[in-house]
Structure 1
Amino acid sequence: MNLPAAAQEALDAFAACLGWEQRARLLMQWGERLQPLSEDERSEANRVSGCESQVWLVGARSGEVWQFRAASDARLIRGLLAVLLARVDGLEGVELQQLDLPDWFNQLGLARQLSPSRSNGLNAVLQRMRELAAG
């Protein structure tokens, strides 16, 4: 399966990092790229449960493909959300269902740094995306 352009960009950028410190810095930079959510979008209805940090997710379908936006109050989580969004951008619902999240973070070299709680949180975000896509 072909990667979305943003996902390929993420892979290339993270592959060029020499260590965790560089990856962490890059992750923060990616987090800055998230489009901010409005106050209305930061509602309880859009909050993802299962995350230690506050995370909000909104999704919209355009034809067959999905576009998601997300926000968090935690900088590192924003970065992780940004690379997750890069990976799922423009996927169809079926592709979302098949996405292997641990494999994606492994490819980015971020898997070892994901604590169980962060990993659970990101899985909760992906699960929410799948629920939205399933309609």
Structure 2
Amino acid sequence: MATQAFEEIVEDFEFLEDWEDRYRHVIDQGKAMAPLDEALKVPATKVHGCASQVWLHPIVEGGVFRFDGDSDALIVRGLISVLRALYNGVPVAQIGQVDARAELGRLGLNEHLSAQRSNGVRSMIERIRDVAAEHA
């Protein structure tokens, strides 16, 4: 169960054979993402368990989940962008059904991220799932 935006990233990755190109593509995705308003970079939006600074600002409107986010690390901004493609627009009641590990595995991210980055991604996913569960 993936959004159209995430499927587009999967298609892009199919054309990028070498991991370096995929890594650059993830970074470019992050660069293209609008920065999070500084007023939203507060302790309540900070994600703990990440090696870099990460903020996620979830929004639930009309039963639909979305979030904005930011990080001080380019690759992490890119990972936030990938997670936004995976989760934004999904009904809040279905967030828990998204198998993020399997979906990210389709991109090969599971094998190519450092342990610290993988922990950070897990922390971001947990935050997304927790917020969605509160609103479901």
Q: Same fold (TM over 0.5)?
A: yes
User: Which residue is equivalent to 1:107?
Assistant: 106
Residue 33 (1) aligns with residue 32 (2):
yes
Contact 1:58–1:70 (8 Å) recurs in 2 = yes
Cα offset, 1:103, TM superposition: 1.1
Distance 1:110 1:129 in 2: 18
SS in 1 for 2:76: helix
User: Which residue is equivalent to 1:117?
Assistant: 116
SS in 1 for 2:41: coil
Cα offset, 1:62, TM superposition: 1.7
Cα offset, 1:17, TM superposition: 0.4
Distance 1:94 1:16 in 2: 33
RMSD value, Cα: 1.2
Structure 2 residues not aligned, in runs of 5+: none
List 4+ stretches of structure 1 deviating above 4 A: none
Residue 48 (1) aligns with residue 52 (2):
no
User: Which residue is equivalent to 1:127?
Assistant: 126
SS in 1 for 2:55: strand
Distance 2:88 2:32 in 1: 14
**Cα deviation code 1:28-63 (max 9, x no counterpart):** 111112221111101111100111110000011121
SS in 2 for 1:47: coil
SS in 2 for 1:56: strand
Cα offset, 1:18, TM superposition: 1.2
User: Which residue is equivalent to 1:64?
Assistant: 63
Contact 1:93–1:130 (8 Å) recurs in 2 = no
**Cα deviation code 1:110-130 (max 9, x no counterpart):** 221122211111111111111
Structure 1 residues not aligned, in runs of 5+: none
Residue identity matched to 1:25: R
Identity in percent:
37
Cα offset, 1:101, TM superposition: 2.1
For normalisation by structure 1, the TM-score amounts to: 0.93
SS in 1 for 2:40: coil
Residue identity matched to 1:132: V
